[in-house]
Chains A and B, each alone.
Chain A
Amino acid sequence: GQQVMQIPQYQHVQEGEDFTTYCNSSTTLSNIQWYKQRPGGHPVFLIQLVKSGEVKKQKRLTFQFGEAKKNSSLHITATQTTDVGTYFCAGRYNDMRFGAGTRLTVKP
């Protein structure tokens, strides 16, 4: 079936290092959304990408949607301890499918 594959599953970085998580689909997506879930919390919507090749920024976070609308990435520049959590992508086919998430831990 339609799936969104997300890698890596875990990422541990030193504070100040960069972080990237990737989502890939075997078929074209209508759009992709990104969510962040803090430890013990609930997913919170970050952003949505709709257009081919779209790039959006939120402070230190950069989101990209591939030209073929089959992949997306979230890049965090100079991580901080407040970035800790699990980042999920959710891709839209006929319905919305979530990736398995990338759990980010940051060492001060």
Chain B
Amino acid sequence: DAGITQSPRHKVTETGTPVTLRCHQTENHRYMYWYRQDPGHGLRLIHYSYGVKDTDKGEVSDGYSVSRSKTEDFLLTLESATSSQTSVYFCAISESRILKDNSPLHFGNGTRLTVT
């Protein structure tokens, strides 16, 4: 498996609190992605990054922000968590731009977030 570490693995938080999820990679891949997985919806792209300080929105970006200050780290922040953001969050990396090229995605182990 690709060297991708997500932290925390599990998180329970209250509505209205800020939450930050971390993704760390040791593969030196340029592209990093945040997905959420919900029953019946598969995986949906939240935000992605194509380099340090270069990020863009995905399919379901409302309520989320991201930052990438180093190649190896990609942070996902929920500024004010809501119950609809209860989900499993996966970080993924690819060697080239998944949105335009043919590289496969390599996923981390996921973070299960519960917003009460």
Q: Using a CB–CB distance below 8 Å, which chain A residues touch chain B?
A: 6, 9, 31, 33, 35, 41-45, 48, 50, 88, 90, 94-101
Given A42-B110, A48-B104, A96-B42 contact (CB < 8 Å) = no
Q: Is the CB–CB distance between B45 and A95 below 8 Å?
A: yes
Given A43-B107, A45-B106, A99-B42, 15 other A-B residues pairs in contact with their CB atoms under 8 A: A6-B42, A9-B40, A31-B102, A33-B104, A42-B108, A42-B109, A45-B105, A88-B42, A88-B43, A90-B43, A90-B105, A96-B99, A96-B105, A97-B59, A98-B44
Q: Mark B75-107, 1 if CB is under 8 A from A, else 0.
A: 000000000000000100000001100101111
Q: Shortest beta-carbon distance, A33 to chain B, in Å? A: 6
Q: Shortest beta-carbon distance, B96 to chain A, in Å? A: 13
Main secondary structure of the interface of B (DSSP, over half): loop
A33 — which chain B residues lie within 8 A by C-beta?
A: 104-105
Q: Is the CB–CB distance between A100 and B45 below 8 Å?
A: no
Q: How far is the CA of A6 from the CA of B40 in the complex (A)?
A: 10
Residue of B nearest to A95 (CB): B99
Residue of A nearest to B88 (CB): A42
